[in-house]
Structure 1
Amino acid sequence: MKNISEILENVKTVGIGGHIRPDGDCIGSCMALYLYIREYFPDIEADVYLEQPKPVFDYIDRMDEVKTEAEEEEKEYDLFITCDVSALDRLAVAGKYFDTAKKTACIDHHVSNKGFADVNHVRGDVGSACEVLYGLLDADKIDRSIAVPIYTGMAHDTGVFQYSSTTPETMRIAGELMKTGFDFSRIIDESFYQKTYLQNQVMGRVLAESILLQDGKCVVGYLKRREMDFYGVEGKDLEGIVSQLRLTAGVEVAIFIYEMETQLFKVSLRSNGKVDVSRIAVFFGGGGHVRAAGCDMQGSMYDVINNLTAEIEKQLAEE
């Protein structure tokens, strides 16, 4: 695609969906596309599906219109578009609508995305799905309402423009979006950095009990299910922990794992450059980017750590 209008021609109904446990880039890209279609293609009936987006993103316009569950009645969209979804099994809430849609499209930036839709616009060299989406929209039509979610997604997936995926083009686009007049510093503070007191307590515990492996090149933090129950937290409350672990001096790879249920763990991986964590995540059935990836793994916590560090060690030995 060169422009989103190419796939919207002769379309009367559109569904938009993001990945499970949606982050800022997923929510931002889905909402920006939804707002753009609602504003500039008013004859198209559009719906957006997201899995329980966090209230912290409520500053984005029309968040109250998000559908968090698939409706019971059968529905066939003329077009279903996924945003920031790396594989079909990562699509949340609206999988059945993707399956029954007359045509499907995928807008993404994950290097692990093999292309699962009829039309696949995947740019693995771009730092966020929101930046990919920006390239498909008419820049002169991006008003403040649409700019806010795009900026949100770009800021989140580039670590507030500090990851290596940040390019001069990324910063140019961010500057153009800022011209629409929103409070960009507030968006960053409240949606990216700000944590509740409880989240800070949990992060402190994980950092205090983290372990260094492989001569200090790998750091591992973890939470067991009973610890999560004790604090009353879920996976959505644990964002930012793996990024903080990555900042440990001398570390090449940070791992954070938490127990979703007995012997089933959610794994988040971050790299400082020497290790391609997307290769590791894909090996274990997940996906992501060179420096940020994730997967789900079964076994004991020690099995999970041992299996992950074995793959990390292989890459470090390739240097």
Structure 2
Amino acid sequence: MKKGNLSRVKEALLKSRNILITTHVNPDGDGISSEAALCLYLKKLGKHVVVINKDPLPEMFAFLPGVDEIHVSGQPTFDPDLIIVTDCGGLERTGLKIPGEFTPKVIVIDHHLTHDQNGEINLLDHEASATGELVYQLIKEMEKDSPAKMDYPIALCLYTSIFTDTGSFRYSNTTPKALEIASKLVAYGINSWTVAEQVYESKPYALLKLTGRFLRTLEISRKGRFAWGSIVKEDFKKTGTREEHTEGLVNYPRSIKGVEVAVFFREMNSEQIKISMRSKGEVNVAAIAEKFEGGGHHNAAGCIMKGSLKDVMKKVLRMVAESLQDEVPEEEGVEVHG
């Protein structure tokens, strides 16, 4: 992360009065926790801050301080002089529509490997475990010249950010720096079990029913190097679940012994498919996602593609197979749910 950009972001925040914070569509733990923490701190500075997301808050994160004030809307209802985009490359990935008469400065705070960040000021660190790491460093920088200090609610949000994006400190992005920051956040009184319980041990029964339907779709490549599964709209109707309940399903095929890449296909509608990919390290799935106008990290990436589930699966699985010198059995990989 460039220190100069950290100072520029700090200066922009101090000069601004009306601030809009947002994150990417289908927000995850890092995006939500980062924007919530930043909102809480900026309000301590006396700023007028509004958080607006295109999509609703996943229920597993309802325990976080301040998230009850997040607005779900397609566009802001006030005129911000500054917009902060967390955990993605820019406004186009948030789903928000900014009226033409609004001309706010845009700051992007992101840790993804892809190169689509287009804020006027970009606070980036591709080696950071989570965007929450960058928000932590920003708040600590601002504390130097401000009476406003980090407190338990802010620390809880930032700990959750790092906790979720490292897969509860299991993934390869669990760096010494991530653990160091997490330990400092715990010192504010964070109970790590409380966070783990809320995120991983409080699943609704309907989610397990959805998981069962997903597991029935699992397939594996000829050499066992990659595996995949899918969910269609009908699955949500049958189980009474929502899109947010698919979070983490891609980890089931990823957990298969010998599998290097896992792919999860989710039918958004009859013409759009959302793809999530996970790698154990050998394959850069962000590079694959970029070929389909998506992005992400080396080990976690995704994209949205137009087409039927069958056609999209063929295209994506062919690309994954090439990256692993493997192949999809002809009779498998393209079946849709009945």
- Using the size of structure 2 for normalisation, the TM-score is 0.87
Counterpart-to-counterpart distance in 2, 1:70 and 1:298: 22
| Deviation readout 1:144-183 (Å, 9 max, x if unpaired) | 1100110111111110111111100100000000001122
Matched, 1:59 2:40: no
Aligned residue type for 2:94: L
Which residue of structure 2 lines up, in the alignment, with residue 164 of structure 1? Answer: 172
- How many residue pairs get aligned? The number is 314
Counterpart-to-counterpart distance in 1, 2:102 and 2:291: 30
Which residue of structure 2 lines up, in the alignment, with residue 207 of structure 1? Answer: 215
Aligned residue type for 1:134: Y
Counterpart-to-counterpart distance in 1, 2:264 and 2:62: 27
Counterpart-to-counterpart distance in 2, 1:79 and 1:255: 37
Which stretch of the first structure deviates more once superposed, 119-128 or 203-212? 203-212
Q: What does residue range 91-110 of structure 1 map to in structure 2 within 5 Å?
A: 91-92=94-95, 94-96=96-98, 100-110=102-112
Distance 1:189 1:246, change over 3 A: same
1:233 Cα deviation (Å)? 2.3
The 8 Å contact of residues 80 and 97 in structure 1, kept in 2 or not, is answered as: no
**Match among 135, 138, 141 for residue 136 of structure 1:** 138
Q: SS in structure 2 opposite 1:17?
A: strand
The 8 Å contact of residues 87 and 113 in structure 1, kept in 2 or not, is answered as: no
Which stretch of the first structure deviates more once superposed, 194-203 or 171-180? 194-203
Which residue of structure 2 lines up, in the alignment, with residue 25 of structure 1? Answer: 30
Counterpart-to-counterpart distance in 2, 1:153 and 1:227: 29
The 8 Å contact of residues 25 and 128 in structure 1, kept in 2 or not, is answered as: yes
Matched, 1:69 2:76: no
Distance 1:179 1:17, change over 3 A: same
Counterpart-to-counterpart distance in 2, 1:239 and 1:72: 27
Q: What does residue range 192-203 of structure 1 map to in structure 2 within 5 Å?
A: 192-203=200-211
Counterpart-to-counterpart distance in 1, 2:6 and 2:272: 41
Counterpart-to-counterpart distance in 2, 1:246 and 1:204: 16
1:220 Cα deviation (Å)? 0.9
1:193 Cα deviation (Å)? 4.4
Matched, 1:78 2:86: no
Counterpart-to-counterpart distance in 2, 1:31 and 1:249: 37
Q: What does residue range 174-193 of structure 1 map to in structure 2 within 5 Å?
A: 174-193=182-201
Matched, 1:45 2:48: yes
The 8 Å contact of residues 52 and 76 in structure 2, kept in 1 or not, is answered as: no
Which residue of structure 1 lines up, in the alignment, with residue 114 of structure 2? Answer: 112
Aligned residue type for 1:64: D
| Deviation readout 1:123-157 (Å, 9 max, x if unpaired) | 11112111121121117622111001101111111
Matched, 1:297 2:289: no
Distance 1:35 1:230, change over 3 A: same
1:299 Cα deviation (Å)? 2.4
1:206 Cα deviation (Å)? 1.6
1:49 Cα deviation (Å)? 1.2
Which stretch of the first structure deviates more once superposed, 213-222 or 99-108? 99-108
Which residue of structure 2 lines up, in the alignment, with residue 11 of structure 1? Answer: 16
- Using the size of structure 1 for normalisation, the TM-score is 0.92
Which residue of structure 2 lines up, in the alignment, with residue 282 of structure 1? Answer: 290
Counterpart-to-counterpart distance in 2, 1:101 and 1:63: 26
| Deviation readout 1:2-48 (Å, 9 max, x if unpaired) | 25522223211111111101111010000000001011x11x21111
Counterpart-to-counterpart distance in 1, 2:242 and 2:33: 22
The 8 Å contact of residues 178 and 184 in structure 1, kept in 2 or not, is answered as: yes
1:52 Cα deviation (Å)? 1.2
Matched, 1:306 2:310: no
**Match among 220, 239, 246 for residue 247 of structure 2:** 239
Distance 1:271 1:183, change over 3 A: same
Which stretch of the first structure deviates more once superposed, 187-196 or 28-37? 187-196
Distance 1:55 1:123, change over 3 A: same
Percent identity, please. Answer: 31
Distance 1:288 1:99, change over 3 A: farther
Q: SS in structure 2 opposite 1:265?
A: strand
1:290 Cα deviation (Å)? 0.8
| Deviation readout 1:283-318 (Å, 9 max, x if unpaired) | 111111111111112223232222112211232249
Which residue of structure 2 lines up, in the alignment, with residue 89 of structure 1? Answer: 92
Q: SS in structure 1 opposite 2:6?
A: coil
The 8 Å contact of residues 144 and 181 in structure 1, kept in 2 or not, is answered as: yes
Counterpart-to-counterpart distance in 1, 2:64 and 2:89: 24
1:260 Cα deviation (Å)? 1.2
The 8 Å contact of residues 75 and 97 in structure 2, kept in 1 or not, is answered as: no
Q: What does residue range 207-226 of structure 1 map to in structure 2 within 5 Å?
A: 207-226=215-234
| Deviation readout 1:207-234 (Å, 9 max, x if unpaired) | 2330011411111111222233222322
